[in-house]
Amino acid sequence: MAVVALVVPAAAGAPSAAAEPMRAEVLRLESVSKVYGTGAATVRALDAVGFTVDQGEFVAVMGPSGSGKSTLMNIIGCLDAPTDGRYWFGGEDVSRMGERQLAHVRNRRIGFVFQQFHLLPAMPAWRNVELPLLYRTARDRKGAALRALAQVGLADRVDHRPSELSGGQQQRVAIARALVTDPDLILADEPTGNLDSASSREVLGILRQLNVGGRTVVLITHDPNVAAVPRRVVTMADGRLRAEAA
């Protein structure tokens, strides 16, 4: 099967690296390891990983299945805790937080985009987008959802259910849901994995435009064509960071 390169045109007015001022640190991992199982069944999914992402960066973490990138994503997203090492998010040591504090970070400070869209089929697009706001005392939840959908080009699809949307449109709804809390970080796990090449380019273009607008984005992928879109690429193998390119 032919490999289709995902070429996304450069955004007009994108800031050059040389002109960028010093930026705040969004996340930092120091010597983070993750071990599953015990005895002969022990699996070291991450091994002494150190990784930093600054505000406004667009970073791809690339590696094959079994490289540890999904485990790294779960730790970055506060969905799992490291066995060893430390993890700071926004200057706070989340590796020492309790579950209630972690839930607060997940809901308010991280926007998740997954390969599987995870949309509720009986709800229209705007209802799916407002879901993260139901866990807080937010005013005008519908208005926030409509604004997020407009950001991803779906202002004319707000009342459509997932079954009435294409795969690419469903993933754009998922991106809007990630945006609705105004998070510090957009964390996207294989966001083009279920899409055709045209929809993949569209989704990657939206993520890059969000980054140009100031959003910090970390993208997890096995596809070098997808990894070519972010400005920075970190390669993983056997639970370790193997290489990095700007």
Q: How far apart, in whole angstroms, are the C-alpha atoms of residue 139 and residue 211?
A: 26
What local confidence, expressed as pLDDT, does residue 22 receive?
66
Is the pLDDT at 7 greater than 50, yes or no?
no
What local confidence, expressed as pLDDT, does residue 246 receive?
61
Our measurement of the distance from residue 137's CA atom to the centroid of its chain's CA atoms, rounded to an integer in Å, reads 25
List of residues 6+ apart from 123 with CB closer than 8 A: 161
Question: Residues 117-132: what's their mean pLDDT?
Answer: 96
Say if CB 159 and CB 190 are below 8 A apart.
Answer: no
Is the pLDDT at 188 greater than 80, yes or no?
yes
Question: Residues 171-185: what's their mean pLDDT?
Answer: 96
Using alpha carbons only, what angle is made at residue 108 by residues 149 and 160, rounded to the nearest 5 degrees? Answer: 25
Q: How far apart, in whole angstroms, are the C-alpha atoms of residue 138 and residue 216?
A: 23
Q: What would the pLDDT profile of 58-97 be if each residue is shown by its tens digit?
A: 999 999 999 999 999 999 999 999 999 999 999 999 988 9
Q: What is the CA radius of gyration of the chain?
A: 18
Domain boundaries along the sequence of the chain: 25-245
Say if CB 35 and CB 44 are below 8 A apart.
Answer: yes
Q: In one letter, which amino acid is 69?
A: K
Q: How far apart, in whole angstroms, are the C-alpha atoms of residue 174 and residue 158?
A: 12
Beta strands in 64-209 (DSSP E): 84-89, 92-93, 110-114, 185-189
CATH number of 25-245: 3.40.50.300
Q: How far apart, in whole angstroms, are the C-alpha atoms of residue 180 and residue 178?
A: 6
- What tokens does 195 get? 């899409």
Which of 37-41, 63-67, 95-99, 167-171 is the least confident region?
A: 37-41
CB-neighbour burial class of residue 131 (10 A; exposed 0-12, middle 13-18, buried 19+): middle
